Every structure is written in structure tokens, then in C-alpha cells.
């Protein structure tokens, strides 16, 4: 697919759903100002629009004549707060697009402190997602200021051992060359720091066409005849010192993912916002510039699918919601169930009811998303010489022609289609839990596990919930048994960020009986906030008598319901097997 054709799909997913725009610029007229309710500070510099309103009028017109036309609101940034937990602009409400000036205080020339405060609030506020920074200042400096202002420092960039080694190394160097430590710091500028952050590189530095020169640092290493390891220690020390000088201007909230491009069109993307950058006085079609920046970022097709889904829900959600509600009789029946359910089962019943309503809503939403996805895929296949592996490598930076990439892709697929992060408030079919070093899966039917609604025969057990658990057998990811992946006995889970593979019976015998036990969950199987619970297991004591011992269990994952039912059915079949008296020939 050509870039221009793909841009059309980006437009449909990100631009077409826009309905409103808020301009935050200290040079723009506000409604309060025009009506006389907001008298400008006489000490402040006059707003530029009074002398020349044409440029601002052109920007406003571009929004009102776009497709679709946008509702436009203006704020001059006069009440931006600086407290960390305060709202950046007190009456800032949800908008689809934000146009943000860099200098929001006419009394402080070239100061972007307020604008960066707004940007940080946007990153923390999930209501905002698209921002165009529209400025008359030097665009390179504005971009760098925003980038540093949104970037979180790396915690523990240098280890204690590396700090100690650097101290020894530099003390020795200072004896021969006083001031060499400062020269090292000076050799690693903010530009060097950002390059290292963007490329996730380490010493020796891997250079690309946009890399700054590291010649000054290398010259110091050459003069000291440092080994590669000593240069690495000096480099990480200098990088940490540069980060320390930048830290007061950085976004000191860890865990914020950031990507960017400092070449035209410039952009910054976080998990919750996308920032494009535009210079005032040039082409003021900000929608077109935003689209160009989005195209330069190159969102993957999968992200376009999800963006389209958000747009369809937002635009057609009310109608789809009414359709999804369906019959008042069934809604009354469901709600009565929520009111009458026993307190210990209320959380689970509410989650079940919400899930049913959500599923009905998605059933009405998904056809529009499916149509979008189909058009995109067909456009990819228009070229008679299409290379699907190359297309995937372009979008996802994964080469499926390589065995290692292909194997990892299949493994990740198996995890996603068969398991999910654990949900629910009590033990359920398909919950995978860990006791000491062993992993188990709960394979009792769900109807027997709902607190207060189990079979009457369980009443004599008080708050103990009996359930069937099968001990899982661990497998390496390259086990030869996995060649029979469709044998309905393998489990793939992501546990603590690592993909683990299990089989629910003997790894070498497809139809062998699994290692199963009846366990007893305390408190009717109710899970703590950390997904932990306690179980009783019958074990043999030293005197050979059976005793019930308590074990701590931790939920680590959950099979998707259809996969849990598959194992439940397979377990039932193996438990009902009949031993025949045939003799081998």
C-alpha cells in the first residue's frame, strides 16, 4: 500500500472522528475578553490579534471548514496552575483536539513552563489524545523543551559498582589532567542523552545517520588510553551526570513510555497523547500538519482498528447502546438477580452482568470496525507483487522470515488466544495458581464455584469450597511434544512477564491421566486484592494418618473460558475411561 493510501486510513481512524478543538494561546481573543467580562492586565503586553487578527482568523476558519467542521473554543492560559496535583487549566474540559501555544505568558518571552504544565496534565488525563503545539518560537527549541519536559529520568542509570569504578577511574585521571571530569560531562550534551534514550543504545554507541558526534568523548578516552570497559564506565557516569542536570526539567513520573521524531514533521507520542509541532506563520492548516505527523509516526494497522473502534463507539454508541439494552424483561430479570444475590457472590454476579451488557454493545459496534479492517487489508493486497512478510516487517519491525521471530510470534499468539490476565473476585474455572514451586489449574465447573450457590452437599463444609485442581507439568518452549500442538493438552501463560508453557498431563503420553486433586479453598474461594487465597490439601502425616494442611496460593493467570472448558471436558473423559481386558498380540 502506498503511504498516501495508508494516510487515508489514518485520517479515517484519527482525524475524521474529531468534533471539537480547543485553542490554548495567550495571543487569542477569548469570549470573556470580547464581552468585557475579562479585562486584560494593563501591565501585560497587548495581545497580537488586536494589531493583526488575520492569521488567527485563518486558523479558526481552517477548523470550521475542515471535514467535518469542528466546534472551536479558545483559552488564553491565564489560570494555569503549577502545583503537581492541580488541574493545569481549571475549566479545561474534554476536547478532541488541543492546539497549544508554547508561550502562555506574554510577560515571559520564550518561556514554555505553562505550556509544558498543560502537556503534562494532558498526559495524565486520558480525556485528551491529540495535540498540536503551534508556536512562533524556534521550533527546534520548543520541541526539545517539550521532549525533556515529558521524558522521565531513568532510575538507577548507573549502579553502585559502576559509580565506585568511575570514582576510582576519574580520581586517577584528575591527578594527571585536572578538570577532566567536567570535560567528560561537557562531552555528553542533552542531544547525546536524548539520542541514547531514543535508540536504547549502550557503549560502544551504535550510530545512525541522525546521531550526534561522540568525537569529544572518544578523544578523552584516547588521551587516557582507556580500555573499552573503562570507556563504558566513564560514559555511563557522564550520561548520569547529564541526566542529573536535566532532571529538574524532566517529568518525574516513572513508567511513562515515550517515542518521538526530531525531524520534520516532529512528533512525540506517549501512551495517552500524541503531540505534533507546527510553526506559526507558515502553512496554518493544522489538521493537515497533524495528519502528516501521524503518518510520520506510522501507527500500526492494529492500532488503527482500535482507534476506529473508539470512534465508532463515540459516534454511534448511544444508538448501539439502545439496541444492546434489548428486552426490558431480561434486563429486569438480570437486575433482580443482582439485588437478590447473596452478599458473598454479589461482586461476581455484577461482573457477569456488566460483561453480558458489554458483549451486546460490542456485537452492534464491531461490524463497522470489521468493514474498516477489511478495506485496509484489501488495499494492502492490491499490489500483484505483494510480499506479506515485508509488509509485516515494515509495520511491526518483525521479520517473520527469520525462524526466531516466527517462533516468538507463534508463542505470543498462543498466549493471547488461550489465556488472559486473571479476573473475578473468587476462584473460577480456568484460574491458574501457584503453590510453592508448583502450578495448578482449577477445573471444577463454574456453577460449583460461585460462593453461596454450590451444591447443597457442600453446606457441611462451612466456608470451605471443594474444587478439582490439576497439577501442570512445565515444558521448555522448544519441547518436541509441542509439534502436536493441537492435542488439546497444552497451556501457555504469561507469568511475571515471561511466557511459560505447560501440559496438563504426562508430557510424553498424550492420553495419560493427569495429576489431579480435590482441594478446599478457604472463605468460599474468595480472592484477596492481590489474588491470593488459602487452600487445604489432604496429606499423609508421619504417623501415616491423613491430615489437612493449609497452603498459600497465588493466582498467576487464567485460561480463556473455552480453553478451560476444553481441559475440563478432557479431564472428564479421562476420568470415565474403562479398563478393558484385551491382551496385546
The domain ranges of the chain are: 3-151+251-298, 160-248, 302-401, 412-575
Nine-digit cell string for 133: 503545539
Q: Look up cell 485528551; give the residue.
A: 128
Q: How confident is the model at residue 41 (pLDDT cuts 50, 70, 90)?
A: low
Residue 45's contacts (CB-CB under 8 Å, 6 or more residues apart) are 106, 107
Query: Quick one: pLDDT band at residue 325, thresholds 50, 70, 90?
Result: low
More confident residue, 314 or 44: 314
What band does 85 get if pLDDT is binned at 50, 70 and 90? very low
Q: Is the pLDDT of residue 584 over 70?
A: no
* Alpha helix stretches (DSSP H) within 66-138: 113-124
Average pLDDT over residues 571-575: 76
Question: Does the pLDDT at position 86 exceed 50?
Answer: no
113-123 burial, b at 16+ Cβ within 10 Å, e below that, comes to: bbbbbbbbbbb
Q: Per DSSP, what are the bridge partners of residue 501?
A: 475, 492
User: Is the bond preceding 204 in cis, omega lying within 30 degrees of 0?
Assistant: yes
Q: Which pLDDT tens digit goes with each residue over 342-394?
A: 776 677 778 778 877 777 777 777 888 899 999 998 998 887 678 888 888 88
230-280 pLDDT per residue, tens: 999 999 999 999 999 999 999 987 767 889 999 989 999 998 899 999 998
Is the pLDDT at 185 greater than 90? The verdict is yes
Among 149-153, 352-356, 558-562, where is mean pLDDT lowest? 352-356
Q: H/E/C letters for each residue in 198-212?
A: HHCCCCCCCCCCCCC
Q: Are 152 and 255 in contact (CB under 8 A)?
A: yes
pLDDT for res 87: 53
CATH fold group of domain 3-151+251-298: Rossmann fold (3.40.50)
The kind and range of the H/E element at 144 are: helix 139-150
The whole-model pTM stands at 0.80
Task: Determine the pLDDT at residue 580.
Answer: 58
Q: Can you list the positions of beta strands (E) in 419-460?
A: 419-420, 431-435, 438-442
> Which residues lie across from 552 on neighbouring strands?
534
Amino acid at each position: 500500500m502506498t503511504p498516501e493510501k495508508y494516510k487515508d486510513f489514518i485520517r479515517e481512524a484519527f482525524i475524521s472522528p474529531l468534533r471539537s478543538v480547543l485553542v490554548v494561546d495567550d495571543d487569542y481573543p477569548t469570549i470573556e475578553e470580547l464581552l468585557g467580562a475579562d479585562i486584560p492586565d494593563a501591565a501585560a503586553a497587548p495581545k497580537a490579534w488586536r494589531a493583526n487578527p488575520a492569521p488567527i482568523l485563518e486558523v479558526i476558519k481552517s477548523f470550521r471548514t475542515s471535514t467535518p467542521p469542528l466546534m472551536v473554543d479558545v483559552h488564553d492560559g491565564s489560570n494555569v496552575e503549577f502545583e503537581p496535583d492541580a488541574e493545569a487549566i481549571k475549566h479545561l474540559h474534554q476536547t478532541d483536539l488541543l492546539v497549544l501555544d508554547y508561550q502562555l505568558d506574554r510577560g515571559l518571552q520564550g518561556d514554555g513552563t505553562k505550556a509544558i504544565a498543560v502537556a503534562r496534565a494532558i498526559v495524565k488525563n486520558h480525556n485528551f489524545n491529540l495535540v498540536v503545539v503551534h508556536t512562533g518560537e524556534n521550533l527546534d527549541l520548543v520541541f526539545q523543551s517539550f521532549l525533556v519536559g515529558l521524558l522521565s529520568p531513568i532510575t538507577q542509570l548507573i549502579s553502585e559498582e559502576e559509580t565506585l569504578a568511575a570514582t576510582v577511574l576519574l580520581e586517577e585521571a584528575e591527578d594527571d589532567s585536572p578538570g577532566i571530569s567536567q570535560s567528560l560531562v561537557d562531552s555528553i550534551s542533552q542531544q547525546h542523552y536524548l539520542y541514547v534514550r531514543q535508540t536504547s543504545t549502550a557503549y560502544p554507541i551504535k550510530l545512525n545517520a541522525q546521531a550526534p558526534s561522540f568525537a569529544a568523548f572518544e578523544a578523552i578516552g584516547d588521551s587516557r588510553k582507556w580500555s573499552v570497559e573503562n570507556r563504558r564506565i566513564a560514559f555511563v557516569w557522564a550520561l548520569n551526570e547529564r541526566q542529573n542536570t536535566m532532571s529538574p526539567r524532566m517529568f518525574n513520573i516513572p513508567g511513562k513510555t515515550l517515542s518521538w521524531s526530531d525531524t520534520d514533521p516532529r512528533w512525540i507520542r506517549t501512551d495517552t497523547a500524541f503531540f505534533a509541532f507546527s510553526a506559526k506563520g507558515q502553512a496554518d492548516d493544522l489538521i493537515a500538519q497533524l495528519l502528516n505527523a501521524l503518518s510520520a509516526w506510522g501507527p500500526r494497522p492494529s492500532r488503527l482498528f482500535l482507534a476506529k473502534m473508539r470512534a465508532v463507539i463515540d459516534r454511534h454508541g448511544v444508538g448501539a447502546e439502545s439496541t444492546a439494552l434489548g428486552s426490558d424483561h431480561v434486563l429486569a430479570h438480570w437486575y433482580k438477580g443482582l439485588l437478590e444475590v447473596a452478599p458473598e457472590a454479589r461482586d461476581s454476579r455484577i461482573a457477569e452482568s456488566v460483561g453480558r451488557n458489554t458483549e451486546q454493545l460490542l456485537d452492534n459496534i464491531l461490524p463497522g470496525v470489521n468493514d474498516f479492517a477489511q478495506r485496509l487489508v484489501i488495499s494492502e493486497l492490491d499490489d500483484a507483487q505483494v510480499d506479506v512478510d515485508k509488509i509485516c516487517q515494515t509495520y511491526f519491525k518483525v521479520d517473520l522470515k527469520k525462524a526466531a521471530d516466527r517462533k516468538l510470534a507463534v508463542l505470543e499468539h498462543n498466549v493471547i488466544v488461550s489465556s488472559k490476565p486473571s479476573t473475578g473476585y473468587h476462584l473460577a474455572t480456568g484460574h491458574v495458581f501457584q503453590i510453592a514451586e508448583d502450578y495448578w489449574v482449577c477445573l471444577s465447573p463454574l456453577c460449583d464455584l460461585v460462593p453461596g450457590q454450590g451444591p447443597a452437599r457442600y453446606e457441611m463444609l462451612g466456608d470451605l469450597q471443594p474444587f478439582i485442581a490439576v497439577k501442570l507439568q512445565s515444558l521448555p518452549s522448544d519441547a518436541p511434544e509441542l509439534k502436536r500442538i493441537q492435542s488439546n493438552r497444552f497451556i501457555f501463560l504469561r507469568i511475571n512477564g515471561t511466557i511459560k508453557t505447560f501440559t496438563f498431563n504426562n508430557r510424553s503420553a498424550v492420553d495419560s491421566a493427569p495429576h489431579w486433586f480435590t482441594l478446599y479453598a478457604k472463605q468460599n474461594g474468595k480472592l484477596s486484592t492481590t489474588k491470593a487465597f488459602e487452600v487445604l490439601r489432604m496429606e499423609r502425616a508421619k504417623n501415616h494418618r491423613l491430615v489437612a494442611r493449609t497452603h498459600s496460593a497465588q493466582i498467576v493467570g487464567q485460561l480463556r473460558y473455552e480453553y478451560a472448558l476444553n481441559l475440563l471436558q478432557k479431564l472428564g473423559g479421562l476420568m470415565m475411561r474403562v479398563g478393558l481386558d484385551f491382551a496385546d498380540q
